């Protein structure tokens, strides 16, 4: 995996200082997703950070699933998450863990807290606990069960584990400080009853630990040195430290927070992504309009471009929203260097070269990459009848239009110079064919008399072209911050997907492997659809346009 030189940031500064003074001999990080959905572009930042610093400082990064909420988690999500991390270019070797691996130890540590008088079983309802928690300006109120004896708490907790109580009957709470200015320290719940089947442990457990309790202990058991998480966990750090300070854990990792990655014109809320998928507003978790890694991959975004994007936006403590154009620039740069070229016509109209031999099909050489001869070349068919883009012809062209028009001469890319002679229309007055003549002495697009031809257009041979479905994708939402509205659905872009059912492509593209990327000359970057592209039914998705035209278009709309 090729990577750009790592940019310095405050987390790397901390790590380098820890190594310099001998606080740690080896860096150990972890990526700890909950298997309750698919990863999105925001997770990519955390993946690249945790695996990246471990790689760059000769340490290790663990893959660990926070599987403590069995009602929302599944093996499907876990498999998808693991696949996405590997697709991004990272490996965990044999360090593949689950919070559920530690359920017994987590339980024993809870018993330790009870025996130390630092945890108690609360029999209030969830609403009663919430109402007694207090506010930012008012302290909370002690639970009437806070003074239970150690023996009472041990007995009740054992019965909770044995499955004797219904969900919601009791919880186990840490006994900290109901008057703390940090609400997270007001006797937080650390265990709740959930009589449901876990996708890994089955029906073995009737109680499950809460995230804030589980996460810090899992970090300590795995010897994590730097627990890197997003800013919403900053107020949880005192609880992270409190739990570890009370327990005989093997080490005390340091939690460091950074700003999460947010993009405009999309959403990364798991709840809202679930709604888009389950309400049928998109075609699935891998819909190319979604910011999920599955969707970005299907759209044709290279993993290297996403890694570069995460590196380029950097790490800060201030929450900001990144313009989608920054990500698209990284994608363009990667594909410009690595995607072979091909020709395709998305809105075809027939071009008939009247003086070209009717039965002749020539083979013309074309470079696979004009900037890199290592890509080699290919042969493309040229015949009397071609397809060109409908927008490349105008009957009454304005000033500055250098493409084809009556009496005008243009260069056919890799082919010949042609001059329009007349057009053919149907009864509705629509152009169905453009007729022209060609100059046989201009093979390869060169004019022997050095005459000036300003326009060059692309084409495909009608004799060998493959009819293909092409999907053009745009921003999923019409406003930069759709998540700010209570109903994000009203901002869905009705033009976020446009399907062209009969685009015409070079014949060889029909055999492209699913996921293969190309630059369709003059049109943009496209990839063979991972799910639906197949021999006999090619399907291509537009990954990104050749240039960022969104700002210009939005300016006109506004």
pLDDT digits (tens, 9 = 90+) for 46-73: 999 999 999 999 999 999 999 999 999 9
**Would you state the structure tokens that stand for residue 309, as one six-digit string?**
């994007």
pLDDT of residue 364: 96
Which of the four pLDDT bands, split at 50, 70 and 90, describes residue 549?
Answer: low
Contact call for residues 343 and 520 (beta carbons, < 8 A): yes
Token duo for residue 453: 């031809």
pLDDT at residue 536, as a whole number: 82
pLDDT value at residue 558: 45
Tokens coding 242: 């409190």
Torsion angle in degrees (nearest 10) through CA of 14, 318, 288, 274: 100
- Secondary structure string (H, E, C) spanning 333-350: HHHHHHCCEECEECCEEE
Q: Is the separation of the CB atoms in 294 and 79 below 8 Å? A: no
Interacting residues of 370 by C-beta distance below 8 A, sequence separation 6+: 341
Q: How many CB atoms lie within 10 A of CB 75?
A: 10
Q: Is residue 175 annotated as part of the catalytic site, yes or no? A: no
pLDDT at residue 552, rounded to an integer: 52
- 270 catalytic, yes or no? yes
- Three-class secondary structure assignment of 276-312: HHHCCCCCCCCCCCCCEHHHHHHHCCCHHHHHHHHHH
Return the closest-CA partner of residue 90 out of 130, 119, 122, 61: 61
pLDDT in tens, 285-299: 999 999 999 999 999
Q: Which residue among 95, 159, 270, 413 is the active-site one?
A: 270
**Residue 119 Ramachandran class (φ > 0 left, ψ -120 to 50 alpha, else beta):** beta
Cα–Cα distance for residue pair 304/485, rounded to 1 Å:
33
CB 214 within 8 A of CB 244: no
| CA atoms of 132 and 186, how far apart (whole Å) | 10
At 402, is the secondary structure helix, strand, or coil? coil
C-alpha 499/C-alpha 347 separation (Å) is 11
- Superfamily the domain 270-340+469-501+512-557 falls into: Ribosomal Protein L25; Chain P (2.40.240.10)
Are 270-340+469-501+512-557 and 344-458 in the same CATH fold?
yes
Strand 321-322 vs strand 262-263: parallel, antiparallel, or unpaired?
Answer: parallel
Residue with token string 């998450």: 81
The fourth-level CATH superfamily of domain 344-458 is Ribosomal Protein L25; Chain P (2.40.240.10)
Catalytic residue among 12, 133, 159, 260: 260
Residue 548 has pLDDT above 80, yes or no: no
d(CA 193, CA 197): 12
Q: Which CATH superfamily is domain 10-260 in?
A: HUPs (3.40.50.620)
More confident residue, 519 or 508: 519
CA distance to 137, 148, 190, 265, per residue, from 131 (Å): 14, 21, 18, 37
For this structure, is 556 an active site residue? Answer: no
- Give pTM, 2 decimals: 0.92
Using the predicted structure, report yes or no on whether residue 379 has a pLDDT greater than 90: yes
**Given the structure tokens 């005459």, which residue do they identify?**
451
> Domain boundaries in the chain?
10-260, 270-340+469-501+512-557, 344-458
Tokens 């042609």 locate to 418
Give CA–CA dist 297/313, Å, rounded.
20
What is the chain's length?
558
Q: What is the pLDDT of residues 344-368, one digit of tens each?
A: 999 999 999 999 999 999 999 999 9
Res 38 pLDDT > 80: yes
Cα dist from 558 to 295, 490, 551, whole Å: 29, 18, 10
d(CA 383, CA 362): 6
Q: What is the pLDDT of residue 4?
A: 57
Adjacent-strand bridge partners of 383: 361
Q: Inform me whether the pLDDT recorded for 444 exceeds 70.
A: yes
CA proximity to 409, closest of 419, 400, 401: 419
Res 345: pLDDT: 98
Taking 80 as the threshold, does the pLDDT of residue 551 lie above it?
no
Which pair of structure tokens corresponds to residue 343? 């020709």
Q: Is the model's pLDDT at 525 over the cut of 70?
A: yes
Per-chain mean pLDDT for the chain: 95
Q: 185, 204, 31: which is closest to 107 by C-alpha?
A: 204
Q: Is 315 helix (H, G, I), strand (E, B) or coil?
A: coil
Give the H or E element holding residue 542: strand 539-544
Among the listed residues 34, 73, 222, 257, the single catalytic one is 34
Look at residue 470 and tell me whether its pLDDT is greater than 90. Answer: yes
Question: Phi, psi (5° rounding) for residue 158?
Answer: -65, -40
**Mean pLDDT of the 192-202 span:** 96
Confidence of residue 219 (pLDDT cuts 50, 70, 90): very high
Extended strands (E) in 407-534: 409-412, 417-425, 431-438, 456-457, 460-461, 466-473, 497-505, 517-520, 524-528
Q: How far apart are CA 477 and CA 481, in angstroms?
A: 8
Residue 3 reports pLDDT greater than 80: no
| Beta strand extents in 59-193 (DSSP E only) | 60-65, 96-98, 119-122, 171-174, 189-193
Reduce the DSSP state of residue 22 to 3 states and report it: coil
């Amino acid at each position: 995996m090729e990577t750009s030189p790592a940019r310095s940031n405050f987390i790397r500064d901390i790590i380098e200082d820890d190594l310099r003074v001998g606080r740690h001999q080896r860096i150990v990080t972890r990526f700890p997703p909950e298997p309750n959905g698919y990863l999105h572009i925001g997770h990519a930042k955390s993946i690249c950070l945790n695996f990246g610093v471990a790689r760059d400082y000769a340490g290790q990064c663990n893959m660990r699933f926070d599987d403590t909420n069995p009602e929302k988690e599944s093996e499907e999500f876990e498999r998808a998450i693991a696949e996405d991390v590997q697709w991004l270019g990272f490996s965990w070797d044999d360090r593949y863990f689950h919070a559920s691996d530690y359920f017994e130890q987590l339980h024993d540590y809870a018993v330790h807290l009870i025996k130390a008088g630092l945890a108690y079983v609360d029999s209030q309802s969830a609403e009663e606990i919430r109402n007694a928690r207090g506010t930012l300006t008012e302290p909370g109120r002690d639970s009437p069960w806070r003074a239970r004896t150690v023996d009472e708490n041990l007995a009740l907790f054992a019965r909770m584990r044995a499955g004797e109580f219904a969900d919601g009957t009791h919880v186990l709470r840490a006994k900290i400080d109901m008057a703390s200015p940090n609400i997270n320290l007001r006797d937080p719940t650390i265990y709740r009853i959930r009589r449901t089947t876990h996708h890994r442990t089955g029906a073995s457990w009737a109680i499950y630990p809460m995230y804030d309790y589980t996460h810090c202990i899992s970090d300590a058991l795995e010897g994590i040195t730097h627990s890197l998480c997003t800013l919403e966990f900053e107020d949880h750090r005192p609880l992270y430290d409190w739990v570890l300070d009370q327990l005989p854990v093997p080490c005390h990792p340091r939690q460091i927070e950074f700003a999460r990655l947010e993009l405009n014109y999309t959403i990364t809320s798991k709840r809202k992504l679930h709604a888009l998928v389950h309400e049928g507003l998109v075609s699935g978790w891998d819909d190319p309009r979604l910011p999920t890694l599955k969707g970005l991959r299907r759209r044709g975004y290279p993993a290297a471009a996403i890694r570069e994007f995460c590196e380029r936006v950097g790490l800060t403590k201030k929450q900001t929203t990144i313009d989608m154009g920054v990500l698209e620039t990284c994608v363009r740069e990667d594909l410009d260097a690595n995607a072979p070229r091909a020709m395709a016509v998305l809105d075809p109209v027939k071009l008939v070269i009247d003086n070209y031999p009717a039965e002749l099909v020539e083979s013309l050489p074309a470079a696979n990459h004009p900037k890199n001869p290592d890509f080699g070349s290919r042969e493309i068919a040229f015949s009397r009848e071609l397809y060109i883009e409908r927008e490349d012809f105008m009957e009454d062209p304005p000033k500055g239009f250098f493409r084809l028009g009556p009496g005008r001469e243009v260069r056919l890319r890799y082919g010949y110079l042609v001059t329009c002679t007349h057009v053919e229309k149907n009864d509705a007055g629509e152009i169905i064919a453009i007729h022209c003549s060609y100059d046989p002495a201009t093979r390869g697009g060169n004019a022997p008399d050095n005459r000036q031809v300003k326009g060059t257009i692309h084409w495909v041979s009608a004799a060998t072209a493959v009819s293909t479905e092409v999907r053009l994708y745009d921003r999923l939402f019409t406003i930069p911050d759709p998540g700010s509205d209570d109903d994000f659905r009203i901002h869905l872009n009705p033009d976020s997907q446009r399907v062209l059912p009969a685009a015409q492509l070079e014949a060889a593209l029909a055999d492209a492997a699913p996921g293969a990327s190309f630059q369709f000359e003059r049109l943009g970057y496209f990839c063979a659809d991972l799910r639906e592209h197949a021999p006999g039914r090619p399907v291509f998705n537009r990954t990104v346009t050749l240039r960022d035209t969104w700002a210009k278009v939005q300016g006109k709309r506004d």
